[in-house]
DNA sequence: CGTCCGTTTGAGCTTAATCAACGGACGTGG
DNA sequence: CCACGTCCGTTGATTAAGCTCAAACGGACG
């Protein structure tokens, strides 16, 4: 840990959010040009600061807006009537917070993992854009399809894997989506998660997450401590995690170029 | 089990698949009018018979078509390199087989749980329809959003619930989606699943599914035997399964009317 | 009539949850 | 400055849930 951890270097992109005056937020995570489309009425979108731990929206709230993460991490979660909670998904800068947009109230909660800013687009405007702008519609559909793919992958992970596999897959996914490349051995990556949040998204108890991380440290795969993951052995991690090329491409966002090609098809 | 089990009574609907000459297949499961839209070039869609156990498409196959289930049940599954398999979703008559349509090859397998017929629309045509027909685009997006919602719910189920809860939730979901209403105590419902398939979709072993079903039978919740589920106590089932109103509405497809309303909004 | 598949049941074992105590980091208020 | 509470992570001991291995059964089907 000589040089200390470094922020994920994000590729600078020409597009920016005119409203929010924040740039470089979205290399190709989903609605890459969501906020720079000419049709977007600037008065309709607004950036919003969300303090660490506080909610963007909660279960039962009116689902009036679509959100894109500009900075920080947003967790999408579901809490049952008896209080049991799961984290369904982590939305990183550039990602759309995956709203299912079914019915008029949200069935999930979105909260900030660390201090975050999000860009909101009203649902009415979102619907107009979808109908008037084919590119926007394509990108939005692609974003939802990506979330579906990630959700299925997550499901596979939790259904089949042992504790060690679940944790390492989650950490590896988040590292790659954050860095936008495969980490190198020896590298330290900032992942603003707590062990409790890892437990919520892997369906384990916090104590068992702690033991599992201790095991991963002892086996010299990764060392997760204080919101920082140090990669000790890339090969061993990838052997345990068993990540396919397709999955890697999905995390890197490379496949998101698909829809553009389809448009040109006919 | 006096009168024996009865087929799920499906509401007759005016729409039908012109190509496939099969009617009443899709009350409102997703792309309700997918095959009856005027714009649909009839020469492009074709019905296809899929024998029980055989695949509609497999992992790695070219993702060239979108499929809607006409009769029978289709399971969407994922198999890892080492052979471990999960069933991600069951598509019932009227449902779209949820293709993520990312990249040009399918990352999942779809196979028939019992003898089935599906209606295929080529991806090229699907893309044209999406761009030229706002209603089609809305319905397709709503269908993907619904699949995302179901996937998240499934994830919550597997992450938080005990074996008994998982199994009863799965059976209850399938019964309600099949019947399009809440079953009554004493009713017997045909669910063309095996215990092995239940185990694949709940992340358990077949032996433990057998024990869990034995327990549910002993506790007089449901009796699942020979592809037939007999409901012994609706109240007890719903207490254990803990189904919310929103979830019920999603299963019943009632919320799918959302998009139509949005269209009228602006 | 035998084979195969799905299911049942038993015994022993592994994994992860639970219960519990403790320690460090941090923030608050005296 | 220290005392205090809180949150998060660690560690140990114990319990329970579910898996593995194994044997056997029944129905479907050729």
pLDDT band of residue A101 (cuts 50, 70, 90) is confident
DSSP element (H, E) containing A247: helix A245-252
In this prediction, residue A117 carries a pLDDT of: 92
Q: Do residues B184 and A135 lie in contact, with contact meaning Cβ atoms separated by under 8 Å? A: no
In this prediction, residue B35 carries a pLDDT of: 43
Check whether A36 has a pLDDT greater than 80.
no
DSSP element (H, E) containing A101: none
Task: Give the mean pLDDT of chain B.
Answer: 80
In this prediction, residue A7 carries a pLDDT of: 34
- Among A212-221, A238-247, B115-124, name the most confident range: A212-221
Q: Do residues A66 and A120 lie in contact, with contact meaning Cβ atoms separated by under 8 Å? A: yes
In this prediction, residue A45 carries a pLDDT of: 59
Question: Does residue B202 sit at the A interface (CB-CB below 8 Å)?
Answer: yes
Check whether B156 has a pLDDT greater than 70.
yes
In this prediction, residue A139 carries a pLDDT of: 87
- Among A189-203, B90-104, B128-142, name the most confident range: A189-203
Residues in CB range of A141: below 8 A, 6 or more apart: A259, B130, B137, B140, B141, B144
pLDDT tens column, B48-61: 899 999 999 999 89
Check whether B242 has a pLDDT greater than 60.
yes
- Burial of B62 (C-beta count, 10 Å sphere; 0-12/13-18/19+): exposed
Q: Which has the minimum average pLDDT: A19-33, A244-258, B130-144?
A: A19-33
Residue for token digits 């239940």?
Answer: B198
Residues in CB range of A10: below 8 A, 6 or more apart: A24, A25, A27, A93, A94, A180
Please report, for residues A9, A31, A32, A177, A254, the alpha-carbon distance to residue A28 in angstroms, rounded to integers and kept in the order given: 14, 7, 5, 11, 8
Exposure string of B206-215, with b = 16+ CB inside 10 Å and e = fewer, is eeebeebbee
Q: Nearest protein residue to C7's C1' (by CA)?
A: B210
pLDDT tens column, B88-99: 999 999 888 977
pLDDT band of residue A37 (cuts 50, 70, 90) is very low
Q: Do residues B60 and B106 lie in contact, with contact meaning Cβ atoms separated by under 8 Å? A: yes
pLDDT tens column, B60-89: 898 888 898 999 999 999 999 888 999 999
Mean pLDDT of the region A242-246? 85
DSSP element (H, E) containing A71: strand A65-71
Check whether B100 has a pLDDT greater than 80.
no
Question: Does residue B107 sit at the A interface (CB-CB below 8 Å)?
Answer: yes
pLDDT band of residue B266 (cuts 50, 70, 90) is very low
In this prediction, residue B221 carries a pLDDT of: 96
Check whether A6 has a pLDDT greater than 60.
no
Minimum-distance CB partner of A266 among B128, B244, B255: B128
Give the C-alpha separation, B67 to B50, whole Å: 12
pLDDT tens column, A38-74: 444 444 457 889 999 999 999 988 888 889 899 999 9
DSSP per-residue string spanning A127-173: HHHHHH-HHHHHHHHHHHHHHHHHHHHHHHHHHH--HHHHHHHHHHH
CA A118 to chain centre: 13
- The gap between A208 CA and C23 C1' (Å) is 18
Q: Do residues B138 and B259 lie in contact, with contact meaning Cβ atoms separated by under 8 Å? A: yes
Test mutation, B28, B151, B244, B252, chain A, max A CBs within 10 A: B151
Give SS3 for A182: coil
Chain B, window 125-164: residues with a beta carbon less than 8 angstroms from a chain A beta carbon: 127-128, 130-131, 134, 137, 140-142, 144-149, 151-152, 154-156, 158-160
Q: Choose between B164 and A30: higher pLDDT.
A: B164
Cα distance between the two ends of chain A: 53
Give the C-alpha separation, A243 to A234, whole Å: 12
DSSP element (H, E) containing A67: strand A65-71
């Amino acid at each position: 840990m000589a040089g200390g951890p470094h922020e994920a270097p994000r590729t600078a992109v020409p597009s920016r959010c005119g409203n929010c005056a924040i740039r470089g937020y979205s290399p190709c995570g989903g609605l890459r040009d969501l906020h720079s489309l000419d049709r977007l009425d600037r008065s309709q979108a607004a950036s919003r600061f969300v303090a660490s731990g506080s909610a963007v929206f909660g279960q039962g709230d009116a689902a009036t807006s679509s959100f894109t993460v500009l900075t920080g991490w947003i967790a999408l979660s579901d809490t049952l009537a008896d209080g049991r909670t799961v984290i369904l998904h982590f939305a990183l800068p550039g990602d759309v917070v995956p709203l299912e947009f079914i019915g008029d109230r949200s069935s999930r909660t979105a909260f900030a993992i660390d201090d975050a800013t999000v860009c909101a687009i009203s649902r009415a405007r979102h619907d107009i854009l979808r109908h008037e702008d084919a590119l926007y519609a394509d990108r939005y559909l692609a974003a939802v399809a990506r979330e579906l793919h990630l959700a299925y992958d997550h499901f596979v992970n939790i259904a089949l894997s042992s504790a060690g596999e679940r944790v390492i897959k989650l950490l590896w996914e988040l590292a790659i989506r954050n860095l936008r490349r495969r980490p190198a051995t020896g590298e330290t990556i900032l992942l603003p998660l707590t062990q409790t949040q890892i437990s919520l998204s892997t369906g384990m108890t916090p104590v068992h997450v702690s033991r599992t991380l201790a095991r991963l440290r002892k086996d010299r795969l990764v060392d997760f401590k204080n919101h920082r993951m140090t990669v000790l052995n890339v090969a061993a991690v990838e052997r345990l995690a068993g990540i396919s090329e397709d999955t890697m491409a999905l995390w890197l966002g490379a496949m998101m170029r698909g829809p553009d090609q389809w448009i040109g098809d006919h």
